[in-house]
Amino acid sequence: MSTPGRPVTITEIAREAGVSVPTVSRVVNGRGDVAAATRERVEALLRARGYRPQRAAAARARTGLLDLVFDDLDSPWAVEILRGVEEVARAAGAGVVVSAVHGSATAARQWLHDLGSRGSDGVLLVTSHVQRDLEPWLQERSVPLVVVDPAGVPPAGVPSVGATNWAGGLAATTHLVGLGHRRTALVGGPPDLLCSRARLDGHRAALESAGLAMDPALVRQGDFHQESGYREARALLELDDPPTAIFAASDQMALGVYEAVRRRGLRVPEDVSVVGFDDLQLAEWASPPLTTVRQPLAEMGAAAARTVLSLADGQEVSGTRVELATSLVVRHSTAPPRR
């Protein structure tokens, strides 16, 4: 219950009505995607409790700022996302405030405090889980949220932009199998990330489609960084029956695989074929140039920025999940296995 003299919040209304905060927000904003019985119950509570919106999204004074929040900023991958966001924001006359919370609760709280001081028009959260208290906090202040490449399934009603990771994993492994590889390994990303699990599932589907069982010994877990690619590839190449091809679930890990192959006295692609994922600029300049799955990172950032700006203007958006297509880019790091 609210304290006497303090305005009631939509979080309290949602709790009493037994619905989510986004549902109450949709009722308050007059949206039609709420069941009639639920709408009547929420509206009755809003009237009874004397709810008054703090600041309606369409009536808010725009600050001309977007908050772009990463877990970490130590990758060219993040720079590509930022490039897409900044391009759209600049065209709209908005600035971008970039933060990295490094998975730290203290850093996240400090960012939230700073966000409240700035009064940004919208928040873009990249490759992160949405904290339980973040969405209600933003809803109370009519600050829209969009998640880019979500770590997990975002809360209902929160728009997200990602890529077709399953299709990308399928294409990478299908390419290797089509070249004749029967011992194809995967160096995947962190298993708690949705994109990592999707790429693994695509890899598995490609093997099964070719009538090949996925050997658990050929599946290793990395963290998308070069060091883990090197470490896991070295372990794979030390097996009694090593793989003839390795699909690394990021371009940075693929470069680590290159180094492990080199230190083993082997060559890419003559001895080991390698496929990456992302198509960062470094992929084209690797030696040999890296075959990889292109993930449209800048386009993902741009699509997310357009969505959050539309929401900040009080506009409706169609659908809550957008997946941009991945595509295989074949260069010179893959070849048929030696007989």
Task: Write down the pLDDT at residue 1.
Answer: 45
Q: What is the DSSP letter of 54?
A: S
pLDDT-based confidence at 52, cuts 50/70/90?
low
Burial of 300 (0-12, 13-18, 19+ CB in 10 A): buried
CA distance 87 to 96: 10
Task: Write down the pLDDT at residue 115.
Answer: 81
Task: Write down the pLDDT at residue 100.
Answer: 87
Task: Write down the pLDDT at residue 212.
Answer: 97
Q: Mean pLDDT score of the chain, rounded to an integer?
A: 88
Task: Write down the pLDDT at residue 338.
Answer: 87
- Find out whether 223 and 315 touch, Cβ atoms under 8 Å: no
Query: 4 pLDDT exceeds 50?
Result: no
Tabulate helix, strand, coil % of the chain (nearest 5): 45, 15, 40
Task: Write down the pLDDT at residue 168.
Answer: 98
CA distance 268 to 279: 18
Task: Write down the pLDDT at residue 23.
Answer: 77
Question: Does residue 269 have a cis bond before it (omega within 30 degrees)?
Answer: yes
pLDDT-based confidence at 179, cuts 50/70/90?
very high
Query: 2 pLDDT exceeds 50?
Result: no
Task: Write down the pLDDT at residue 31.
Answer: 62
Average pLDDT over every residue of 8-16: 77
Question: Lowest mean pLDDT: which of 123-127, 202-206, 269-273?
Answer: 123-127
User: What is the number of alpha carbons within 13 Å of residue 219 lying toward its C-beta?
Assistant: 16
pLDDT-based confidence at 104, cuts 50/70/90?
confident
- Find out whether 147 and 323 touch, Cβ atoms under 8 Å: no
Q: At what angle do helices 21-28 and 36-49 cross, to 10 degrees?
A: 80
Beta bridge partners of 237: none
Query: 103 pLDDT exceeds 80?
Result: no
Query: 242 pLDDT exceeds 60?
Result: yes
pLDDT-based confidence at 92, cuts 50/70/90?
very high
Query: 60 pLDDT exceeds 70?
Result: no
pLDDT-based confidence at 30, cuts 50/70/90?
low
- Locate the DSSP E strands across 127-268: 145-148, 160-163, 184-188, 219-221, 245-248
pLDDT-based confidence at 20, cuts 50/70/90?
confident
CA distance 280 to 80: 8
Integer distance in angstroms from the first to the last C-alpha of the chain? 74
Question: Lowest mean pLDDT: which of 35-49, 190-204, 208-222, 278-292?
Answer: 35-49
